[in-house]
Amino acid sequence: MASSCGQKVPTNLKLKNELDTISYCLGVDVANSLKRGKFKEINYEAFIKGMDDILTEKKTLIKQDTLKFIVNDYFRKLQEKGLQKNLEEGQKFMEENKKREGVTTTESGLQYEIITEGTGKYASDSSLVLTHYRGTLIDGTVFDSSYDRGQPIEIALNGVIKGWTEGLQLIKEGGKVKLYIPIELGYGVNVRPGGMIEPNMALIFEVELIEVKSNPKN
């Protein structure tokens, strides 16, 4: 997070006592919250002035009943900007990706590459399955991985995003598939606040179907 006014930040600050330590910890905590809110820069002088006015019970430069409206409106604008950006980037990625050799596109818009077909049973749209997976953003950033945790996950295919429900029916037990999931088959705007997945993001999953535990296709 950058300063918008070039204020100097101490680089050799020493935490000499408990007050120093808790003050620094609070600063880190607030900064993490701001970062999750997608703030790219901040005017430290105005920021510190706002904190000081409250802590020393001074009159704030903006009426307190107006502050919440200003902050909410700013976040709304940030979200709208992010929604459009993610939508355009996701659509562009999917459009280019479908042209690659080996990528198949279904009627729903799901794109996939079968890495290994598998030799066991097929799953149905309501199967309980055991899987290993790795999820990435379209820029390659890993946001979740059962491989990293060293533990496969058991899921019901009628309780996951549509891209998974459809995609895991394309391979048999023992198979592995790479799924390119468009916004409408992913999380859409219903994402966990503060997580790596933002609203309107296209996603990529590499999924291994280890076992179909129930309701397999015949």
Tens of pLDDT, residues 135-189: 999 999 999 999 999 999 999 999 999 999 999 999 999 999 999 999 999 998 8
The question of whether 143 is a catalytic residue gets the answer yes
Q: Is residue 7 part of a domain?
A: no
Active site residue 122: no
Q: How many separate domains does the chain show? A: 1
- Catalytic-residue membership of 24: no
- Any catalytic annotation for residue 133? yes
First and final CA of the chain: distance in angstroms?
A: 55
Q: Of 112, 133, 180, 210, which residue is the catalytic one?
A: 133
The answer, as to whether pTM is greater than 0.95, is no
CA distance 33 to 56: 23
Nearest Cα neighbor of 146 from 76, 210, 94 is 210
Whether 126 maps to a domain, the answer reads yes
Domain that holds residue 133: 105-212
pLDDT tens, residue by residue, 50-84: 888 888 988 888 888 898 888 877 777 777 777 88
Distances (CA, A) of 156 to 127, 168, 215, 216: 6, 11, 10, 12
Is 95 part of a structural domain of the chain?
A: no
186: part of which helix (H) or strand (E)? Answer: none
Q: CB neighbours of 10 closer than 8 A, spacing ≥ 6?
A: none
Tokens describing residue 184: 């409408």
- Told to judge if 62 belongs to the known catalytic residues of this protein, a careful annotator would answer no
161 is annotated as an active-site residue: yes
